Structure 1
């Protein structure tokens, strides 16, 4: 229970990786604000876990983040663990990438992470300990075929993280990114449908394409990501800073 008394904020905390991280941090004693756009989803997962606190927040909107983080801080104190997890993953070829698609991807995955961290760090900086964790992707350290907008945003959050780690080097605050390959979440289900339609293959073959892209030939469990986040918040993680932690089945 080493996180007893700490307030964590996890964007996209109602499903998938975000929910796994939120549950893990709550298990270690943190009071965890979970954010998302769907109140029903957040309330359902928080109903059986007193350490989770739902907050409707849209990371595409600055006013929503400013007001949301302020209300979370007022309710549970400074955010000392900020997990910028909310994001969308969808692939399009260059000639099919219109500006609306590009802007929505950037607003959600990159600008949303920046604003979440900016607002959370305002309260974190008033304390003596803090952790900022960005959920990037293996696509953030190498290009992803057919996913130029997604890859660009995931590269962008790594640049954001590295710059912040330099800005606050020597302080009790660390900034790191976790870079998963394909994780077994609802995003996989949606991508199966998308690949099926674009490539004209069966659902089974579409799933095999994603599983095959992971070098160890299986999907990654959300708990494998949450354990890494949990470690970054452990008592002896202070020298881990400015890192891209790849959880990708051997992909380098």
Structure 2
């Protein structure tokens, strides 16, 4: 059934895999034959996604873990390995965003943004390093953001964290290149996900603007004037994970409809 699939026999771990970009990436990888371990903090969406993937590929499982904890990430990898064997592909996608003027960012806000978006990404990858580097061809992809390539107002902590993710990616790309493992990042612009829906709700509550106008305002930041789809991000991830992309390493690829 899986003959000729791009990732037949491969095991991919996807954090934040229950919805949005993570779910789209999981679908794309599974469609190409990968076994998929879906990770997140909420069991229900992960289990629903694993059930959906298993209709075509009976090798998808849900793992509840808090990626801000190094201990939980180690347990996450052990659980994934027990279900599907060693991990070949790591997609560090889990993240969250919160906004506030810089003068009003408190320690809790700062630590949460850094903890989930940067420390969580590092914990995820570090826990899986022994697996993904065990032979040439391992793939690590961080889902960062255009916020990792430029600045945005009122999200200083989020921007700092995503810039950190891009820096982490570049450091690991150099360190792991001799092992034949590639490390890259995709940097989507404003994307039609539950995370964006939360941003729209915030704009509506603070400005009184209606939801559709708020979405349109965010879409204007993308050069082509529309929101990115999760599937567009997923296809970029597939390209980076493909065997033919072994010389694409240390790159932060913007998925935003134009130059950043």
Match of residue 233 from structure 1? 241
Counterparts of 1:31-180 in structure 2, within 5 Å, are 31-50=35-54, 51-180=59-188
Q: Distance in 2 between matches of 1:85 and 1:213?
A: 22
Query: C-alpha root-mean-square deviation of aligned residues, in Å?
Result: 1.2
- Structure 1 outlier segments of 4+, above 3 Å: none
Within the candidate set 15, 19, 39, 2:23 is matched to 19
Match of residue 10 from structure 1? 14
Match of residue 220 from structure 1? 228
State the shift of 1:189 in Å: 1.2
State the shift of 1:211 in Å: 1.1
**Helix, strand or coil at the partner of 1:47:** helix
User: Where in structure 1 are there 5+ consecutive unaligned residues?
Assistant: none
State the shift of 1:61 in Å: 1.7
**Helix, strand or coil at the partner of 1:46:** helix
User: Where in structure 2 are there 5+ consecutive unaligned residues?
Assistant: none
* Contact 1:34 1:53 (C-alpha < 8 Å) held by counterparts: yes
* TM-score normalised by the chain length of structure 1: 0.96
Q: Distance in 1 between matches of 2:110 and 2:98?
A: 11
Q: Distance in 2 between matches of 1:47 and 1:31?
A: 13
Q: Distance in 2 between matches of 1:52 and 1:93?
A: 41
* Contact 1:214 1:251 (C-alpha < 8 Å) held by counterparts: no
* TM-score normalised by the chain length of structure 2: 0.94
* Contact 2:133 2:179 (C-alpha < 8 Å) held by counterparts: no
Q: Is residue 246 from structure 1 mapped to residue 254 from structure 2 by the alignment?
A: yes
How many aligned positions are there?
Answer: 252
Match of residue 188 from structure 1? 196
* Contact 2:70 2:127 (C-alpha < 8 Å) held by counterparts: no
Q: Which moved more, 1:108-117 or 1:199-208?
A: 199-208
Q: Distance in 2 between matches of 1:123 and 1:235?
A: 17
